[in-house]
Amino acid sequence: MASRTRLLRELKAKTEEFNLNTIGDNLTNWEAIITGPSDSPYVDGKFLISFQVPETYPFTAPKVVFKTRIFHPNVHFDTGEICLDVLKSDWCPAWNLEAICRAITALLSSPNADSPLNCDAGNMIRAGDVRAYNSMAKMYTLEYAN
């Protein structure tokens, strides 16, 4: 019941920044569109992410995945799973769905190559080959996120 009340409040208070909305009338399934930040190789890309919100929300983090293909060290290439501390160990009920969108946008600007789900992207950054990483990320953005 607390989950439903919280989600209804978030639905009412949402901004248009991420086009965050429920899928149909189901409060446990949400989608948002993240725009690639200007200081990243994802600039101007439009990335669809999906939220599966558990009944224990906000005490449990939602499952969030990229539906748009993206080349990023913290995003699993095949599943779209995101490695982000606020979705795992650092979750707290103060976080909401819009704040998660902001954290994901920040992750696009500042990838963490030390805990990669996409080892190819992580290895490029750790090896100092930022040019190759940026090139691949831009290529995937142009191919899938426009």
| Distance (Å) of CA 74 to CA 59, 91, 101 | 24, 17, 15
Using pLDDT thresholds of 50, 70 and 90, give the confidence band for residue 1.
low
pLDDT tens per residue across span 78-113: 999 999 999 999 999 999 999 999 999 999 999 999
| pLDDT for position 15 | 84
pTM: 0.94
The two structure tokens encoding residue 107: 């992750």
The one-letter code for the residue type at 45 is: G
Amino acid at 26: N
83 is catalytic: yes
For the chain, the distance separating the N- and C-terminal CA atoms, rounded to the nearest angstrom, is: 38
The full set of domains in the chain, from first to last, is: 2-144 (3.10.110.10)
* pLDDT at residue 131 greater than cutoff 80: yes
Q: For strand 63-66 and strand 46-52, is the pairing parallel, antiparallel, or unpaired? A: antiparallel
Q: How confident is the model at residue 146 (pLDDT cuts 50, 70, 90)?
A: confident
Q: Is the pLDDT of residue 141 over 70?
A: yes
Dihedral pair phi/psi, residue 71, rounded to 5°: -100, 100
pLDDT at 30: 96
Kindly name the residue from 83, 92, 101, 119 that is annotated as catalytic: 83
